[in-house]
Amino acid sequence: MPILVGKPAPIFNANAVVNGEVVHDFSLTRYLGKKHVVFFFYPKDFTFVCPSELHAFQAALPEFESRNTAVVACSTDTEQSHWGWLQVAKDKGGIKGVTYPLVADTNKTISSAYGVLAGDIVPPTHPGAPFTATGDLIAYRGLFLIDQKGIVRHQLINDLPLGRSIDEAIRMVDSLQFFEKHGEVCPANWSRGKKGMKATNEGVAEYLASS
User: What is the enclosing helix (H) or strand (E) of 78?
Assistant: none
Q: Are 118 and 196 in the same domain? A: no
50 tagged catalytic: yes
Can you give the CATH number for the domain in which 43 is found?
3.40.30.10
- Report which DSSP code applies to 14: E
**pLDDT score of 210 more than 90:** no
Q: Are 138 and 72 in the same domain? A: yes
**pLDDT score of 99 more than 80:** yes
Total count of domains within the chain: 2
Q: Are 175 and 190 in contact (CB under 8 A)?
A: yes
pLDDT tens readout for residues 150-186: 999 999 999 999 999 999 999 999 999 999 999 999 9
Q: Rounded to two decimals, what is the model's pTM? A: 0.92
Does 9 map to a domain? no
Given this model, what pLDDT does residue 25 score? 95
Given this model, what pLDDT does residue 128 score? 77
For residue 107, give every residue at least 6 positions away whose Cβ sits within 8 Å of its Cβ, in sequence order, or none.
none
Given this model, what pLDDT does residue 132 score? 64
Range of the domain at 41: 14-164
List beta partners, residue 134: 120
Catalytic one of 9, 17, 38, 50? 50
* Sign for the pseudo-dihedral over CA of 3, 5, 7, 10: positive
At residue 206's C-alpha, the angle toward residues 204 and 211, to 5°, is 95
For residue 66, give every residue at least 6 positions away whose Cβ sits within 8 Å of its Cβ, in sequence order, or none.
none
Does 142 map to a domain? yes
